[in-house]
Amino acid sequence: MDWLNDNAILLTQKTLDVSWAKQKVALDNIANVDTPRYKAKFVLFEEELRRKLSRFEGKDHVNVSDLRKEITSSNLQIRQNGEESNRLDGNNVNLDVEELEVVRNTYQYQFALRQISDQFARLRLAIEGR
């Protein structure tokens, strides 16, 4: 049943995974806002995916399985923010940035869930013949 697991759903699933990871990292940063010498963390994903998918730009025909392989092999990475801190305790968490990240990730997660829901609604309509 490849039509249930196409590249659009795979990419949306990756989006959900990345958004969830970003949310966990941002909440962890917020929880450690008062921890001395704590360095904020962040998630990298979009750049790797963009780099991998750029090889398909300008091509007239793209093999669906090659595209799927690139999406599947794109992994998120959690990195530590190496920026210097203005605080005496060495902590570099910016609470305003982290709170905005939580809100942004919440919306991104809801949007991705809606995309999957809409995809299955379209499939249901096609199956029912409407």
Q: For the segment 5-19, what is each residue's pLDDT rounded down to a tens digit?
A: 688 888 999 999 999
Spatial CA neighbour of 77 closest among 31, 40, 42, 29: 42
Residue type, 54: S
| Reported confidence tier of residue 82, pLDDT bands at 50, 70, 90 | confident
pLDDT of amino acid 2:
57
Range of the domain at 118: 2-128
pLDDT above 90 covers a percentage of the chain that reads 66
Percent composition of the chain: helix, strand, coil (DSSP 3-state, to 5): 65, 5, 30
End-to-end CA distance of the chain: 21
Q: What's the whole-number average pLDDT of the chain?
A: 91
pLDDT (average), residues 74-79: 95
Q: Give SS3 for 62.
A: coil
d(CA 14, CA 20): 10
User: In total, how many domains does the chain have?
Assistant: 1
CA pair distance 91, 83, nearest whole angstrom: 10
Would you state the pLDDT for residue 5?
67
- Report CA dihedral (84, 106, 50, 12) to the nearest 10 degrees: 150
Nearest-angstrom CA–CA distance, 61 and 19: 30
Q: Compute the average pLDDT of residues 50-69.
A: 89
Over 60: is that where the pLDDT of 67 sits?
yes
